Amino acid sequence: GWKRGQEIFVPLRPLSEALGLEYRAQEGILLQLPWARLLGVERRPGQILLRFSREVNALVEGNGVLFLLAQGEGAGLSQEAQGLRLTLETPPTRLYYPGGGQVILEWNPPTRPRPTVLLDPGHGGKDPGISVGGILEKDLTLDLARRVAARLPEARLSRQGDETVPIEARLRLAQAASVVVSLHITQGSAVNLYLPKARSTPLAQNAEALLASAPAEQATLLKVYAGDPRRLAEALEKAFSALGIVLARAEGPYTLTDTPGAGVLLEVGVERLKTLEARNQVAEAIAQAIRTYLGE
């Protein structure tokens, strides 16, 4: 090209060749973009890759994608005046051009809420709990909770260290959790399991019946918001039975168990936690029971 005064002159034939345009000068001058040809379609999980003879623009319209000034044939494709339309069940969540005449359509899988697990190490801070042979309950419950949490990536603790956490703060955390296991220590070798005698919210009151009748996929989703402590108790009894431990079950008005989720209080005899191996076995039993309850 060249410039003369305020005007710029560009040779059309080299320009059209560089841009892939059709150039005709027999009857005036005509510059037009030739239609792109569809070379292939590759369908992958969550993705469709289309290859054209040149770069094209694509527009998402309704449940389809219109490829401007493109032509081709294939399943779900129809030719229109403006280009080639691909009809889809759902529109793509992302569309991009990696180059070389390629267009990629992607679908992100719908995100489902995940169940949350709260492990509540009893006592802490100014409240030491019981003391057995110089070992404080608050230290044992925290150690056990950490071992369980290491086996459950989705679990969180109501306290991270030796701190005083008011019951009101613990309850707020418990109300938002899908599963709550409050850990305590008792003397001897007994392992006691406490469940709520009554549940205060309508969703919690109906959870047992809803979970019993819901299909597996719906039940998994329901457990995010409402739980059945009896089913969790059964899973715990089965897991501890594998260790030769029989749980003693009781019901009562325990604050942290009256939650929309599945809440239980587990009291482990200190004799069951004397060695690191024993603690790991108990922690694995608790973690396995929670996984079983959640259907994982």
Strand-by-strand arrangement of the 77-79 sheet = 58-61, 64-68, 83-87, 77-79
pLDDT digit string, tens, across residues 83-97? 999 999 999 999 999
pLDDT digit string, tens, across residues 174-188? 988 999 999 999 999
What residues have CB less than 8 Å from 134, skipping those under 6 apart?
none
Q: Place 17 in a pLDDT band, splitting at 50, 70 and 90.
A: low
Concatenating the DSSP letter of every residue in 162-211 gives S----HHHHHHHHHT-SEEEEEEEESSS-EEEEEESS--SHHHHHHHHHH
What residues have CB less than 8 Å from 165, skipping those under 6 apart?
124, 125, 158, 159
Amino acid at position 240, single letter: F
pLDDT digit string, tens, across residues 235-289? 999 999 999 999 999 988 777 777 888 999 999 999 999 999 999 999 999 999 9
φ and ψ of 125, to 5 deg: 65, -125
pLDDT digit string, tens, across residues 199-214? 666 666 676 676 677 7
Q: Place 137 in a pLDDT band, splitting at 50, 70 and 90.
A: very high
Alpha-carbon 157 to chain mean position = 19
pLDDT digit string, tens, across residues 19-60? 556 656 666 665 567 899 999 999 999 999 999 999 999 999
Mean pLDDT over residues 219-224, rounded? 70
Alpha-carbon 294 to chain mean position = 14
Which pLDDT score, from 0 to 100, does residue 34 have?
Answer: 83
Task: Report whether pLDDT(73) > 90.
Answer: yes
Question: 223 is written with which tokens?
Answer: 């457990």
pLDDT digit string, tens, across residues 104-133? 999 987 677 889 999 999 999 999 999 988
Which pLDDT score, from 0 to 100, does residue 31 have?
Answer: 55
CB contact at 8 A, 129 and 169: no
Which pLDDT score, from 0 to 100, does residue 221 have?
Answer: 65
